[in-house]
Amino acid sequence: MKLFCVPYAGGSANGYLKWRRLLDPNIELLPLELKGRGTRFLEEFYVDFDEMVDDLYQNLIQQLDGEAYTLFGHSMGALAVYKLVVKIQKNGVQPPQHVFISGREAPRYRFMRNVHPISHLPEQEFLKELEKYGGLAKEIIENEELLQILTPIIRSDFRLIEQLHVTNIIEKLYCNVTILNGLQDITDEKRMTDWYDYVDGDFELIHYEGGHFFIDSAMDEVIYKINESVGKIKKFT
């Protein structure tokens, strides 16, 4: 079973590599890299969110070989995964067996609760806003050299989200979906349960201890859930 993962804002595919030691040996971890970071650091940033989804789509279909697969995305990556699956369905491409949506409210909301546009702010104000609502890991904030590399990436990613056209039109995912959320994140319970409207399949919402980056602080529990869900797929296919 293949597991394709999409990074959060400012993140890269490398952020998922630490999952390998906990994932079931039968799960092949395949993080999808975004432009302007990691192995694609020299590539220009995306112009808009649609370009990012198109790029992810091309990257994904090149790696599909008929084997069953699942998708995971956190925060910005979760919204990208949602739009990616919608595109997959429209194009008649092999669909995922399961989708994991992590740390992101339903698509009808552009921003998390109490969050406003910040990509235009001067650097210190921008970082202060990120830190305020947990949008940046502490180890990054305290590393000035790393900040110089990551700040332009994060700013670009936030700009993509801020420019995103939000609609009340619901495009459903025709597969089983698990929504993951941190109990101390700045999300709203209703905004998370609203994902139910976007799913035509089994729906599950799970809360974990931790803030926005609960996928790190509660990594063992998150991976356990992935292993469990994938195990059920293999059992019934």
| DSSP-derived secondary structure for the chain | -EEEEE--TT--GGGGGGGGGTS-TT-EEEEPPPTTSGGGTTSPPPSSHHHHHHHHHHHHHTT--S--EEEEEETHHHHHHHHHHHHHHHHTPPPPSEEEEES---TT-SS-TT----TTS-HHHHHHHHHHTT-S-HHHHT-HHHHHHHHHHHHHHHHHHHTPPP-S----B-SEEEEEEETTSS--HHHHHGGGGGBSS-EEEEEESSSTTHHHHTHHHHHHHHHHHHHHHHHT-
Pairing relationship of beta strands 2-6 and 28-31 according to DSSP bridges: parallel
Q: How confident is the model at residue 117 (pLDDT cuts 50, 70, 90)?
A: confident
The Cα–Cα gap between 218 and 212 comes to 11
Query: Residue 237 pLDDT > 60, yes or no?
Result: no
Catalytic residue among 75, 102, 156, 229: 75
Task: Name residues whose C-beta falls within 8 Å of residue 54's C-beta, 6 or more positions apart in sequence.
Answer: 87
pTM: predicted TM-score of the whole model, two decimal places: 0.93
Which sign, positive or negative, has the C-alpha torsion 230, 10, 160, 58?
A: negative
At 135 the pLDDT is: 62
Q: What integer is the mean pLDDT of 155-170? A: 89
CATH 3.40.50.1820 corresponds to the domain 2-235: yes
Domain segments of the chain: what residues? 2-235
The Cα–Cα gap between 16 and 12 comes to 8
Both tokens assigned to 77: 């990556």
Q: What integer is the mean pLDDT of 97-119? A: 83
- Establish whether 12 is a catalytic residue: no
Residue whose structure tokens are 């969050």 = 115
Q: How confident is the model at residue 186 (pLDDT cuts 50, 70, 90)?
A: confident
At 36 the pLDDT is: 97
Tens digits of residue pLDDT in 196-214: 999 999 999 999 999 989 9
The Cα–Cα gap between 128 and 146 comes to 16
At 236 the pLDDT is: 58
Q: Mean of the per-residue pLDDT values for the chain?
A: 92
Task: Name residues whose C-beta falls within 8 Å of residue 168's C-beta, 6 or more positions apart in sequence.
Answer: 108
Inter-residue contact 192 to 179 (CB < 8 Å): yes
At 232 the pLDDT is: 86
Tens digits of residue pLDDT in 22-69: 999 999 999 999 999 999 999 999 999 999 999 999 999 999 999 999
At 115 the pLDDT is: 59
Task: Name residues whose C-beta falls within 8 Å of residue 221's C-beta, 6 or more positions apart in sequence.
Answer: 208
Percent of all residues in the chain with a pLDDT value above 70, rounded to a whole number = 93
At 111 the pLDDT is: 59
Tens digits of residue pLDDT in 62-91: 999 999 999 999 999 999 999 999 999 999
Task: Name residues whose C-beta falls within 8 Å of residue 12's C-beta, 6 or more positions apart in sequence.
Answer: 33, 34, 37, 38
At 164 the pLDDT is: 87
Q: How confident is the model at residue 3 (pLDDT cuts 50, 70, 90)?
A: very high
At 206 the pLDDT is: 97
